[in-house]
Amino acid sequence: METQSIDPKVVVAEWIEEAALGGSGDVYDAKRANMRYAWYQQMEMLVDGETVYIQCRDIGTGGIGVSVRKRLEEHSDVEIRRDSRDPWIPCKVAHCTQAIGKSIIGLQLDFTF
């Protein structure tokens, strides 16, 4: 199966559906325009041509929360995927908060639902 021909929007919609079935909605609805669901998945992030392993924390139509052991600059372009069966999903770093031993990153999707 050629992953590049798969629509990234369809893939993210499947991820959100999976998260909604198994996870609870977040409590930050006053802060966010769209609901996010807890979704703990190991994923890959492509940063400047380097593959970095990340932990997804939550997901929704407005974005994806991840943690990573690397600090990223806000507004950086990155791509994520669950594994090699998925296409790379283009994102932008919306915010990066330093925590002990990791960064908590909010990713904004490069498309809208």
Contact 62, 34 (CB under 8 A): yes
Distance of CA 107 to CAs 1, 2, 5, 73, 74, Å? 27, 25, 23, 11, 9
What is the band of 83 on the pLDDT scale with cuts at 50, 70, 90?
very high
Contact 92, 61 (CB under 8 A): no
Mean pLDDT taken over the chain: 89
Higher-pLDDT residue of 27 and 89 is 89
Distance of CA 111 to CAs 23, 55, 61, 103, Å? 23, 22, 9, 24
pLDDT digits (tens, 9 = 90+) for 63-79: 999 999 998 999 999 99
Contact 58, 39 (CB under 8 A): yes
- Domain ranges in the chain are 3-28+36-109
pLDDT digits (tens, 9 = 90+) for 33-64: 678 899 999 999 999 999 999 999 999 998 99
Query: Superfamily for 3-28+36-109?
Result: predicted glycosyltransferase like domains (2.40.10.220)
